[in-house]
Amino acid sequence: MKYLSRDKYAFTTGKDAATIKNILLLNTSINPKLVMINTNKRFIGQVSNNSFQVIGSGKKSVLCVIEGKFEPSEDEKTAISVETRLHKAFLILFIIWAILMLAILMVSPFLSEPKEPFSLLILFPFFIAVCFFRLLLHGGYVLSRNAGVKAINRLLE
């Protein structure tokens, strides 16, 4: 499991940069912020001349931000490099939640009775909860990433 859930992909297509931009514009609901909105299009985000930054419009697709650049390469093909990362809102949510769990772990020994030596064992589930939440977050990111990269790959083939 990667620390910040980042992945890079590269592929080529026979379409030129202007065609790629038009395809992305037709399939993207333009929004300056990467937030979930109701739309019939495949993606939500921004598309510029040689790059794009989108999230999927599906319910499970908001965990992954897809950033890409397309440049002309050899043999009249266009090289597309895509980087995926966990959405910043979910990363901040996880960090705040983990800090709160750590604070509970650090403060609770001072609040418990010293006669109860096993009271610290009760704190172990908090650590497990942080790990489990991170695992769920990464699993959702992987599902969202796979769906998004596959959709972009299908559109630009």
* pTM for the whole structure: 0.81
Rounding to the nearest 10 degrees, give the CA dihedral for residues 7, 11, 15, 141. Answer: -30
Name the more confident of 116 and 155. 155
- What pLDDT sits at residue 34? 86
Q: Where are the beta strands (DSSP E) in 16-152?
A: 28-30, 43-47, 51-56, 64-72, 78-86
Count of residues for the chain?
Answer: 157
3-state secondary structure 73-111: CCCCCEEEEEEEEECHHHHHHHHHHHHHHHHHHHHHHHH
Q: How confident is the model at residue 65 (pLDDT cuts 50, 70, 90)?
A: very high
Hey, where are the domains in the chain? 1-157
Q: Look over the chain and give the mean of its residue pLDDT values, rounded to a whole number.
A: 85
